[in-house]
Structure 1
């Protein structure tokens, strides 16, 4: 059988090119995604940066630790605690103490993420003056880098008196220690120039931590940023890799199966010549093995070339740290190679089994017209997957509708429905093929219905691409629109005031806002509370600290039970996601600074899209500063005058309700957007290969049909128009199936939003669906017209 397979490959090499290309591309994509995932599994340990030259760093309590029956559970505090004053006093007896007080800085034309520090901490990086002098008075600063000149007055009024060479990990502004203490009253970490063991003895029991050696990196801003960046990359490439595997396996399997199905006449002749079913199957599997090994090896080589390019692209795009690089792992190549080979053999085996058990005369009869286009096994699998998709959707809606709004769910769930519809495509094609007018329309429908396998093989990859584009883009757009509607419904204020620096509003500014005549001012603070669910799971919930007497006048909350007006220092407002959410129940919580409290539930909010958090009073905010002020204009007051007075307050940014709602419109983050584009690009690429393979193979086998048309008097232009009409019709069928899958998926998300009492605004991404279907149509036209045009260059008699 191996020698027969080799001779077949040598003689019919053109028929195997499509299968080879599809498999090589699929394996290459799997190898690239596997390498990207492998590179995102572990972040390097950074060396200390800001405190590289500091002997000992003492950091205030920044983590909550709760004992449970299965061990200690930890969580990051929303409001880390300062180093206790008594501890600072005791440390000063051991040696010099330098308090670190960091604060955000906003300068027009300056670097993004600019941060301020006291000048006394610069020597611990160490920074060295390169020009100018150290700051000596309030309003004088030293900058890192060369984004401003010495002697220049910045937009915030500060005078640049010196500069230091940037060290690459931050853009900083250094002020005097006195000014830093005014801007950041609390010192949450400090440097002690003393023996580490003596420092530990003083700090022990205070909740603060002593950092030495490599642990000093924990005092840097964002010490876990590399791990967080890799988590985002892991999610990005995990999603893209999962979809890549799904689309690649789907395309490769269908391509190999279709290639085998197109050779039924050849198999019928072999059976007539005396070949047994087993010999036919072994010959087909031997061919698939040879093509599979060569194509999988080529795909691994392609992946080795493409993986570093992807790594460079994500670094240049700002989605990965500078040190991120893809490559150097072996297991992705093994997974990609053996997956590709297994899929090729599986796709060929299924078709070869049917070819082997078909009688010679039946195979010859079915070579031209499809008989049973959908075998019973495929019917059973398709129906089972369809039932499973519908049942799991219904179960999710009944038990946990919020799960349908998570990215993993709305990315993975459509694949089940797509696979089911693709398996049942031959049954669905016949009723979807339109009855076009004229002779050409009659021939188009007749050819599409007579070759159901060919029609379904072209429509299936179009279905995959259109359904993925519609489901992914539609899901993100639907969620964004629902969240925007929530913001519109919740905002009852006429103006929303935030800090011009993007952080907390100064207490003096809050007092000034409260004195604006004709304004009802409701200040609130962002914080968090933690609960211990089932005695073992420490769960963080975002919260806001508010004045309950003023809240109702500026914010409209989706209350399902209780009254928000009953909120006081001994109570809390929760949402329906909480394990305990009955009005009157008492829950044990840990506040933003780690303080344990037992609070009474006075009101329950609808879950919504997940942005309806808890509400507490300022007494339970853990010391969080005011970051938002909602202002309602009193009846009879002049709104324009109130707005003008609000804008006259220093250090704040004032937005009208309309502008606030517009600015709050949720935007898909860059990583998610890139992931969706990557997924759709992969799907479209695989679709192009599959459609091209199928149509080229189909066109090569239709020489007799072309000859009959030419001998019947059809012109070359008429034949080309017929071929184009057939290709566009099949693409349209795939597009309609993809649209149906999209609508079902988005309907499920709309149902979840309704059950969560969130605004339902299902968004069908018509432009994306149109562009995707159009791209598939162009690929189909090129793939069918090119071989047909070449075939028409020969005499009509030669086509037979």
Structure 2
């Protein structure tokens, strides 16, 4: 049986290649997804742990929760340098430092703008930094900059660099450009080095360090050195090895990469699900085409069991060959994904092919073909040999009362009902219910696609007949000839388009909401903010804006720890005379002018939750201070707004309870409105400080929505894998269909249909299948996107459904283009059919 199976596999080269191709596609994208995810995870781990091999020991003070960060003094560093076996003990200082390029744009990502100290040893070098240009700073007038930031900012040694820290901004001469490892500089970040004294002045106190790095002398045992160091360091500090720090950072990076790994596994599952339809469709066509051959084997004495074993053995052989090819191709796909998603800020990620990935790929490549072949084999074995020998092309119509149709309808109705319930109930488990309902709905729709293919084709038939009466009619008939095959081919496209459409709806709705949640509340020209981890703004930060002629401004001074009417609250102090012209207050009761009288204005959601009304006086308490305040106005606000506070108070009222409020942001309106000159004047008035961002509405919009856009682009790119599988599935299905219909195509050619006509007919068939899958998938995606978005409306005021017609249309066009491209090779093969040989075939 094995020899017979091998002979059958090798006897039909074209059939073999198309079957291998179908299985290989599934293995390719499963392997590609897993290899890409593992490679990114390994790269993050390698980068996070890099550099700690140069650190023998690290000494750091023990931090007390709620207390200021602890430090170490210079005497500790001196004592450690004298411990036997210690080659050097370098005190380190860390803090925030912001550098802008020549156009004023901040360098580095928000959470990784750092400053540190250059700590040279006796040889004048700091082992943590390798200088590519110049040297480290040796006085308070110079700084050094990491290589990537210097290149982005356009800085060379000798240039003047403006650096902002938590204490303000100063100009320095660039003394050098360096490279370093991840222990000092995170991927995508920026690092500024100061000399020792300057770094201590800016971040700590003279003679203090954040931690101390120890380098062991050659030949020193680290364990013994650790014991000697622990005997010297203060009791409230800890010494650990560099190897321990490397493991700690690697574990953190691994945990942080788990989300990407889960996403990649999810997309691998989607790709596998889509590929299953392709593989099943291919084997169904394959067994159907060999019905007469199998019947002949039965007629000459082979039992059903033997024939079944031959076919399943063939599927295993095909699966093994396809698995190996898919693993190789999948590794190439992972390399392509890295090239597409890589950036200057992302770590290098050498391809990582784990044994588990190989095992999964082999299992997928061999088990799926066996499962896919099982149903058509059983169906073929149920046909009596005599009937099969005399059969023409067996049709497989989808009847309205068939078991498949009934199950599909039940799943569709159940899933739709569950999705609607989840969307309208909007309770805590709503999204889980919607997810399950959407899965059932999509599964049911896939089961009904064979039935839907007939009315869908009938709907488009008049358009096809107008475009091409003969070829359109032939294509429409061929499409509905085998609805199951058409449905299975279109189902792959439907899955990809459903996911893409759902993401598009959610992304467009969230983008519009985030845009409106901030920009609609600002009538000022600019919003001044401090980057994450940067300068702590105070009311005094806004004082320099007084010298701007015609400018109106107000800091938003947040003050916490209030108990107002027994309710924990936050007050935001503003300038009562200016705030009405800077923020859009939609007052629903009272008047905003009451702020000038010492009263407060409350957001409607805050007032509604606590039963507060205009004119009501409430007791207020903060720490050991007590008083009373009166509500003078209630205004409509979005709880998620970044600028409109829950309680707006005059700054004089806040100052009574809190002498050091935190200024969250400053809103500024200039005399001439927004513009390049006005922006420059605001920046200059604030001291040309890179640690302060001056954002216009477009910059705010871009900052708030860029994250969603970037994530959607990655998801779209990953979903394109499923779309590619679906398109290639159309190509494979059409190619095998051409093999089945050689006699029919030859007859049509003999009756006068030219090569161009055959090509057009095949292309129209592909477009019909593509349109069916795109239509079902888009409808399912929009429905699911609406349902998920509806659960946000209760908790997120202002969220509304947005249908991104342009993106949806683009998705449909891409599906049709993919289907058309997929038809090129089958159409060419059909056009090249030899007429005499085809018409003579049995």
TM-score category of the 2 structures, normalised to the smaller one: 0.7 to 0.9
Aligned match of 1:24: 24
Residue by residue over 1:304-356, the C-alpha shift from the partner in whole angstroms, topping out at 9 and shown as x without a partner, is x537736864795457533x433352122112211222211111111222222
How far off is 1:481 after superposition? 2.8
Matched, 1:762 2:748: no
**Could you tell me the TM-score, scaled by structure 1's length?**
0.74
How far off is 1:296 after superposition? 2.6
Distance 1:453 1:54, change over 3 A: closer
1:317-466 correspondence runs (5 A): 317=343, 321-322=347-348, 324-327=349-352, 329-359=354-384, 367-372=393-398, 376-387=402-413, 389-398=415-424, 417-433=441-457, 434-436=460-462, 437=465, 438-466=469-497
CA distance in 2, matches of 1:624, 1:164: 39
How far off is 1:447 after superposition? 2.6
CA distance in 1, matches of 2:41, 2:532: 35
- Out of 136, 152, 158, which is 2:159 matched to? 152
Q: Is the 8 A contact 1:104 1:501 kept in 2?
A: no
- Out of 522, 547, 554, which is 1:521 matched to? 554
1:190-589 correspondence runs (5 A): 190-191=210-211, 196=230, 199-201=233-235, 203=236, 210-214=238-242, 217=245, 226-227=253-254, 230-231=257-258, 233-267=260-294, 278=305, 280-303=307-330, 305-306=331-332, 309=335, 313=339, 316-317=342-343, 321-322=347-348, 324-327=349-352, 329-359=354-384, 367-372=393-398, 376-387=402-413, 389-398=415-424, 417-433=441-457, 434-436=460-462, 437=465, 438-491=469-522, 493-499=524-530, 503-504=534-535, 506-507=537-538, 508-513=540-545, 519-523=552-556, 546-547=572-573, 553=580, 583=610
CA distance in 1, matches of 2:27, 2:819: 25
How far off is 1:16 after superposition? 3.1
Aligned match of 1:173: 192
How far off is 1:10 after superposition? 3.6
SS in 2 for 1:723: helix
Distance 1:769 1:557, change over 3 A: farther
Q: Is the 8 A contact 1:310 1:326 kept in 2?
A: no
Matched, 1:783 2:832: no
CA distance in 1, matches of 2:366, 2:401: 24
Between stretches 707-716 and 432-441, larger displacement belongs to: 707-716
How far off is 1:293 after superposition? 3.0
How far off is 1:625 after superposition? 5.4
Distance 1:511 1:4, change over 3 A: same
Residue by residue over 1:464-523, the C-alpha shift from the partner in whole angstroms, topping out at 9 and shown as x without a partner, is 343343333444333323322323344454431234899336544233347877635132
- Out of 73, 77, 83, which is 2:69 matched to? 83
Q: Is the 8 A contact 1:385 1:419 kept in 2?
A: yes
Aligned match of 1:628: 665
CA distance in 2, matches of 1:614, 1:199: 48
Q: Which runs of 5+ in 1 are unaligned?
A: 65-79, 204-208, 530-542, 586-594, 596-601
- How many pairs are equivalent? 731
1:663-702 correspondence runs (5 A): 663-668=703-708, 670=710, 673-680=713-720, 682-702=721-741
Residue by residue over 1:183-214, the C-alpha shift from the partner in whole angstroms, topping out at 9 and shown as x without a partner, is 4468996246995456452x3xxxxx635333
Q: Is the 8 A contact 2:453 2:772 kept in 1?
A: yes
Q: Is the 8 A contact 2:555 2:667 kept in 1?
A: yes
CA distance in 2, matches of 1:643, 1:107: 15
How far off is 1:611 after superposition? 8.0
SS in 2 for 1:762: coil
Residue by residue over 1:504-543, the C-alpha shift from the partner in whole angstroms, topping out at 9 and shown as x without a partner, is 36544233347877635132579999xxxxxxxxxxxxx9
Distance 1:228 1:763, change over 3 A: farther
How far off is 1:782 after superposition? 0.7
Distance 1:229 1:353, change over 3 A: same
Q: Is the 8 A contact 1:486 1:759 kept in 2?
A: no
Distance 1:306 1:179, change over 3 A: same
**Could you tell me the TM-score, scaled by structure 2's length?**
0.71
CA distance in 2, matches of 1:750, 1:135: 57
Q: Is the 8 A contact 1:691 1:783 kept in 2?
A: no
CA distance in 2, matches of 1:781, 1:128: 56
Residue by residue over 1:589-629, the C-alpha shift from the partner in whole angstroms, topping out at 9 and shown as x without a partner, is xxxxxx9xxxxxx9999998898999699999999954522
Between stretches 384-393 and 451-460, larger displacement belongs to: 384-393
SS in 2 for 1:212: strand
CA distance in 1, matches of 2:318, 2:586: 61
Aligned match of 1:591: none
Aligned match of 2:86: none
SS in 2 for 1:628: strand
Residue by residue over 1:673-730, the C-alpha shift from the partner in whole angstroms, topping out at 9 and shown as x without a partner, is 33430331x2133123311211111111112322432344434443333333333223
Q: Which runs of 5+ in 2 are unaligned?
A: 82-89, 164-169, 214-227, 563-568, 613-622, 624-630, 649-653
Aligned match of 1:75: none
SS in 2 for 1:522: strand
CA distance in 2, matches of 1:245, 1:374: 29
SS in 2 for 1:759: coil
Aligned match of 1:599: none
CA distance in 2, matches of 1:301, 1:379: 39
CA distance in 2, matches of 1:612, 1:46: 39
- Out of 772, 782, 787, which is 1:733 matched to? 772
Matched, 1:117 2:116: yes
Distance 1:38 1:638, change over 3 A: closer
How far off is 1:365 after superposition? 5.5
1:51-62 correspondence runs (5 A): 52=55, 56-58=59-61, 60-61=63-64
CA distance in 2, matches of 1:416, 1:275: 42
How far off is 1:142 after superposition? 4.1
Residue by residue over 1:411-462, the C-alpha shift from the partner in whole angstroms, topping out at 9 and shown as x without a partner, is x986654443223211110010022323444333333222323332432333
How far off is 1:155 after superposition? 5.2
CA distance in 2, matches of 1:726, 1:224: 53
Aligned match of 2:143: 141
CA distance in 2, matches of 1:84, 1:604: 44
Distance 1:401 1:514, change over 3 A: farther
CA distance in 2, matches of 1:160, 1:712: 85
CA distance in 2, matches of 1:5, 1:225: 51
